Each structure stands twice: as C-alpha cells, then as structure tokens.
Amino acid sequence: MIRLLSTDFDGTLVEHDSATPVLPELFEKIESLRARGVKWAVNTGRSLWHMEEGLNAEYHFPIQPDYALVEERDLYRRDKAGKWEAFGDWNDRSTSDHHELFRLAEPLLAEVLAFLEVMPGTQPLYDSGRFIGAVTANDQQMDKLCAFLVKLRDRLPLFAFQRNTIYVRFCHCDYSKGTALGELSRLLDLSPDAIFAAGDHYNDLPMLDGRHARWVTCPSNSVEEVKLAVRTANGYLAKGVASAGVVEALNYFEANI
C-alpha cells in the first residue's frame, strides 16, 4: 500500500506551456489519497521559497504538501502552526558536508569557471559568494559541461552535480532527491514498498531507480534517460503529460498493487 507520494514539481506536476498547467484531477486525486492517510512530499530542485512561490503565486495550488525536499538535498516538514521546519538533523549534516566539499573542490571549480569562459552565453551561478552551478545557452552546451564535470569526479569522488534542462548545481555525492527521500522514509519508518515517486528530468533519476521508492513513474514529457530508469525499475511510463501522467500512474498503481 502506498503511504507517501514524492513528486517533482516543474515538468511533473506543472506543464509550463499549457493553458491548464495543472489538471484539477491531480488535486482531487491527492486529496482522496490523503483522506486515507497518505502523505505528500514535493521533491524539487527549487529552493523552499521558490517552491512556495510556485505552489501559491504561480500556479495557485488549492492543496499544500506535508513535506518539502528542496534544492535536491534539504528536508522540511510543517510544524503545528503550519510553518516549515527542518525535519531531523539532515539539513545540518548537508550544510556541513557541503562546506567541506566546496573547500576541497576549489581547484576543480576554478577549472570549471575557465571551461565556462569559452562557452558563449553560459553564466556561472553563485550563492552567498560561492560558485554553486551554471546555466548554459542550450542543451548541447550543457551536455559538454556535464561531460567535463564527470571527468573532474575522478579527482574528487565527493564532487557530484545535479542537472535539470540547461541548469546544473554542484553537490556532495551523498545528497540528492533520492537520498533525501530515503532520509524522509527513515524518519517516517516507511519501506520503499510504501513509496510512490514521480519525476521527469535528470535530477529526478536518484529517486526513480527503485532504491528509495518501489512505485515509480514518469510522464510522457520526460527525458529518455528518465524513461529508461523507470522502465528498468519496473515502473509505469505514463502516456499523459505532467499532471495528467501522474494521475494516470496513481490510478494504475491503485488498481494493480
């Protein structure tokens, strides 16, 4: 029985270019599951404030998640007043590990900056003065950048990255959408057999490989690598786009689990 939903946001729940970015049926489906005790987590590359902006100001969701897994690493739950609070010590560990990673990765990141300089239209991304990622002009540039980053990992295995379209974020290898979901399931005392996960892009791969969620899916607008991962994990490849695909998958699993 599914007890927890872990859903990406952009491209999975929301179809940006559609006249109806999110189908009302998605809200109805999640509410019907919650009435049976199922919890819902948004697992996104967005920051916490950017996720809330998406849910409320951008797309006016009539429902709110129980948990937020943000920036492909941090974990939050709602307190009794409905405000977000860190759940457990995962965020503290993540902060400490990332400080150490970026200290060790300084020479590598200098090489990345030099690599970006010869790619027109590419911009480095900074957070509090720290070089944390990049945005490229197109997918082809991002392919080249990611191939370069993979080679750097041979020199510092702790160094990893998360890609979504033309954006990439550098990270510690122990933190991803998958490991954050794994920590949430540990705190909730849930096995993978009780968890549903849905995503559409590269940074969703760590939660779609079957290790952290038994019931995995992707909408039809997903990148091919995600479709392959879901297929390999014996998941469900939806025919619908974004929220339509998520509803389709939830109905499928309800009927077949």
Q: Is residue 249 part of a domain?
A: yes
User: Quick one: 216 and 241 in the same domain?
Assistant: yes
User: Quick one: 184 and 62 in the same domain?
Assistant: yes
pLDDT of residue 159: 97
pLDDT of residue 83: 95
User: Quick one: 180 and 62 in the same domain?
Assistant: yes
User: Quick one: 130 and 160 in the same domain?
Assistant: yes
User: Greatest CA separation found in the chain?
Assistant: 54
Q: Is residue 79 part of a domain?
A: no
What is the mean pLDDT of each successive set of 10 residues along the chain, which is 257 residues long? 97 95 98 97 97 97 98 96 96 98 97 95 94 97 96 95 96 98 98 98 97 98 98 98 98 93
Residues 6+ apart with CB under 8 A from 60: none
Give the three-class secondary structure for 169. strand
Q: Is residue 106 part of a domain?
A: yes
User: Quick one: 167 and 190 in the same domain?
Assistant: no
CATH number at residue 20: 3.40.50.1000
Residues 6+ apart with CB under 8 A from 155: 108
User: Quick one: 167 and 181 in the same domain?
Assistant: no
Owning domain of residue 57: 4-72+176-256
The pLDDT > 70 percentage for the chain reads: 100
Encoded tokens for 193: 């057999």
User: Quick one: 252 and 181 in the same domain?
Assistant: yes
User: Quick one: 21 and 147 in the same domain?
Assistant: no
147, 172, 197 — which closes off a domain?
Answer: 172
Q: How many other C-beta atoms lie within 10 A of the C-beta of residue 231?
A: 13
pLDDT of residue 257: 82
* Cα dihedral sign, 177-178-182-185: positive
User: Quick one: 210 and 246 in the same domain?
Assistant: yes
Strand 215-218 to 236-237 pairing: parallel
Contact between residue 237 and residue 9 where contact means Cβ atoms under 8 Å apart: no
Among candidates 36, 34, 40, which has minimal Cα distance to 6?
40
Contact between residue 133 and residue 116 where contact means Cβ atoms under 8 Å apart: no
User: Quick one: 66 and 190 in the same domain?
Assistant: yes
pLDDT tens sequence across 3-43: 999 999 999 999 999 999 999 999 999 999 999 999 999 99
Number of separate domains in the chain: 2
Give the three-class secondary structure for 86. strand
172, 193, 215 — which closes off a domain?
Answer: 172
- Stated pTM of the model: 0.95
